Structure 1
Amino acid sequence: MKTHYWVSFCLAVAGQAALAACGPDEGTCETTSGEYHIELPDADNPPLVVFLHGYGGSGSGTMNNRGMVAPLIARGYAVMAPEGLERPDRGGTKSWNFYPGFGDRDEAAFLNEAVEDAVQRFGIDSDRVVLGGFSAGGFMVNYLACEAPETFSAYVPVSGGFWRPHPEACEGPVRMFHTHGWTDNVVPLEGRLLGGGMYHQGDIFAGLEIWRIANECVDTKPSGFSTTGQFMRRNWMGCAEGSALEFALFPGGHTVPKGWADMMVDWYEGLPGS
């Protein structure tokens, strides 16, 4: 890790937020295992949303998604966008090591390292860190939550679940809010074959069954249904203490939908202890 850093703050979002910069590259913070970008609200000890980009994306690209980042900053959340690992076999395309052969980096260790770095530099509230991600980032969120659900306070994947073969079981309990598009044809709800049949994206509803088992839910039937704007939502209650599971479906395709940030924060802040 570099030992000499400078930190500057550039006004953004009408003066309500600041882009934190570490080291020689403005907007980029470096740790031993990788890099991240972070934007801070005008608040002390803020909670943090860590959001993982999709396949071929970047952390800087995530920060440019103002429709997602700006509402989180306005709600008092810092936003971190880590950089995925470059895959030499794909011309340096960035993604996440959630499946055998997808890379060598210990992603859980890297994300823990990045969060701890941000806690030390920027005063992030380490007890209120949410992990989200889109597409390949959403797959990474599911796999990390499956193996070590206690790592983050909640998990909020968008358009990403598991690959086949699905995990036989996941650790629990977990607090998860999964969001997916009805017309998503990149990560369809039923999954799809990739690489000439070498890889098979999993079924989102099969993934929800795995999470219900991990959360020790007493029934497969949802406990309640609701709508928030374009989102059709269902949740499962009567599960293990400390758990939460909700699924939101929207009519669009493969995207982080408008309104997701506020809906997610409302859900998270409604959880006990959040």
Structure 2
Amino acid sequence: MIRILIFLALFSTQANAQTNPDSILPDNPCHGQTACELDGREYHVKEPDGWDGVSPLPVLLHFHGWARTGAGPVYNGRISGATRRRGVLLIAPTGVNKTWNFRQSGSPDIAFANAALEDAAKRYPIDTSQIYVSGYSYGGLMAWRYACESGDRALAVMSISATLASSGHCDQQPTEFREVYGLRDTVLDFPYGPDGDTTFPVIFWRDQYGCGDATDETDYAITQRRAYTRTTWDCGPNKVTLDIHPGGHLIPRGWIGRQLDELLDRTPTYP
């Protein structure tokens, strides 16, 4: 009888771990909706589907939008839905008072984001050669600040519906910068350039990298509901990509997944 009770207890524990992806694992007490606490702050992490627990993981460091927390991205299908299907570890720090300090250089949020990466590396076998950064809205502005102050840690930075008006030179830059913006964005208005120039959102990075004229302009679609015009600048070892669409202030469905597919040299899929 005792053996039966022990077996049932073990079976119940294992079943709960399999059906509840946010159950606390003995060797990793924080993941999913359970925050990792660090230096009086917190971040969230989400493993990819089917991960074997051993293989090194590429990372997407994502900055949430205003008035949100890092808990949101781990269950957002347009964010963690993209990382989980592509073998990418999602790390989502939470901003102080649910916002980000991006307006001035020397932001403490840069240091915390890097501390979160280092702390996560103690829990997961992170592939430090494949770190990508993204952010939406205010988080997109934070991604810009990160790109300029700690961008040498990332292969690519992806900003969604945000452009930070910057000046001067960034000593630490990502290899690649990608931006997506909606022409009808009325939250962070689309930043048209002189004479209605729609390539103006990435003028800063084109100047940083010393880009010349655009090398390609292509129309493409990820879903039937949204099409993009992509403009690309190949700038020596660096690259700038701008995707614009006719919509508003949002994370376009499938956009993060498409970027990760391209950056990871995968055949693009949806979702």
Return the TM-score normalized by structure 2: 0.77
Give the direction of change, closer, same or farther, for the CA distance of 1:235–1:12 in structure 2 (3 Å limit): farther
User: Deviations along 1:230-257, whole A, 9 cap, x unmatched?
Assistant: 22211111x132x121011122211111
Give the direction of change, closer, same or farther, for the CA distance of 1:23–1:234 in structure 2 (3 Å limit): closer
Equivalent position of 2:167 in the other structure: 167
Structure 2: gaps of 5 or more residues: 1-13, 267-271
Equivalent position of 1:90 in the other structure: none
Equivalent position of 1:77 in the other structure: 88
Equivalent position of 1:223 in the other structure: 216
The alpha carbon displacement at 1:76 in A equals: 0.8
User: Deviations along 1:110-137, whole A, 9 cap, x unmatched?
Assistant: 1111011111112121221111000011
Answer yes or no: is the 8 Å Cα contact 1:18–1:39 preserved in 2.
no
Equivalent position of 2:123 in the other structure: 121
User: Deviations along 1:138-171, whole A, 9 cap, x unmatched?
Assistant: 00111221233202221011011114xx323334
Equivalent position of 1:50 in the other structure: 61
Q: Give the residue type in structure 2 aligned to 1:236.
A: W
The alpha carbon displacement at 1:266 in A equals: 2.2
Equivalent position of 2:203 in the other structure: 209
Whether 1:182 aligns to 2:186 is: no
Return the TM-score normalized by structure 1: 0.76
Equivalent position of 2:7 in the other structure: none
Structure 1: gaps of 5 or more residues: 1-7, 87-93, 192-202
Whether 1:253 aligns to 2:248 is: yes
Q: Give the residue type in structure 1 aligned to 2:182.
A: G
Equivalent position of 2:103 in the other structure: 99
Whether 1:232 aligns to 2:229 is: yes
Equivalent position of 2:239 in the other structure: 244
Percent identity of paired positions between Structure 1 and Structure 2? 26
Answer yes or no: is the 8 Å Cα contact 1:49–1:77 preserved in 2.
yes
Equivalent position of 1:27 in the other structure: 34
Answer yes or no: is the 8 Å Cα contact 1:19–1:38 preserved in 2.
no
Equivalent position of 2:9 in the other structure: none
Q: Give the residue type in structure 1 aligned to 2:188.
A: V
User: For the residues of structure 2 that align with 1:18 and 1:25, how far apart are their CA atoms?
Assistant: 9
Partner of 1:257, secondary structure, is: coil
User: For the residues of structure 2 that align with 1:264 and 1:57, how far apart are their CA atoms?
Assistant: 23
Answer yes or no: is the 8 Å Cα contact 2:31–2:45 preserved in 1.
no
Name whichever structure is richer in helix by fraction: 2
Partner of 2:250, secondary structure, is: coil
Answer yes or no: is the 8 Å Cα contact 2:156–2:174 preserved in 1.
no
User: For the residues of structure 2 that align with 1:85 and 1:77, how far apart are their CA atoms?
Assistant: 26
Q: Give the residue type in structure 2 aligned to 1:213.
A: D
Partner of 1:127, secondary structure, is: strand
Answer yes or no: is the 8 Å Cα contact 1:85–1:105 preserved in 2.
no
**RMSD between aligned residues:** 3.1
Give the direction of change, closer, same or farther, for the CA distance of 1:40–1:204 in structure 2 (3 Å limit): farther
Partner of 2:103, secondary structure, is: coil
User: For the residues of structure 2 that align with 1:68 and 1:25, how far apart are their CA atoms?
Assistant: 13
